[in-house]
Amino acid sequence: MSGKPEFVDVLVIGAGLAGIGSACQFRRKMPQLKLAILETRQVSGGTWDLFRYPGIRSDSDMYTYSYGFKPWTAKSAIADGDTILKYIRETAEEYGLNQLIRYNHKVVSAHWSSQDKLWTVTVSRSPSARSDSEEQLTIQCRFILSCTGYFDYEQGYTPEFAGIDNFQGEIVHPQFWPEKLDYKDKRVVIIGSGATAITLVP
């Protein structure tokens, strides 16, 4: 990590539904501002790209959940995950955000200077096609928008159960659903009764 820090006016953290929507608003209303979007993963879409379990869909109606500047026009108010992902990426394309997204960039720390009225953000850039090694860089900005959601993309929440080490079957977390999982004619236990369970069970 060396040299003069890069400067942007606004730094958006996350390229999911909230991050793309926030960045679009800056492009629409304050296009003169210099903007950058940091995304930890290699693709945009956030939750709607990460989660691949059967039946994934919105648990809120999309007429309310969608962007006010790009109304939801599909006939179904409850949409499947792929349709929502397409909507997010289509919006990013329309507002020219794709060239602003920096993939494999994870925020390590952010420090505010009242004297300079600036954030100094340390970012870890993980290995990609351009580089074989992880490196750190510094970005300074006037504003930070944290649009990271509430999921831990590296490890989904898994409660502890007594005797789980003795279980002989397969344990699957919906956040990391195996593409070729075969559960036909098997006895399956769903733990939980939230939105994920409700969309997964049918």
Whole-structure pTM value: 0.85
What's the structural domain count of the chain? 1
d(CA 121, CA 141): 8
* DSSP label of 131: B
Q: What are phi and psi of 104, to 5 degrees?
A: 60, 25
Tens digit of pLDDT at every position of the chain (202 positions): 557 899 999 999 999 999 999 999 999 999 999 999 999 999 999 999 998 888 899 988 999 999 999 999 998 999 999 999 999 999 999 999 999 999 999 999 999 999 999 999 999 998 764 556 788 999 999 999 999 987 777 777 888 888 888 888 888 888 888 888 888 888 888 888 787 888 888 7
Supply the CATH number for residue 135's domain.
3.50.50.60
Cα dihedral: 36, 144, 118, 140 (round 10): -30
Q: Which two tokens stand for residue 94?
A: 């329309």
Domain extent at residue 184: 1-202
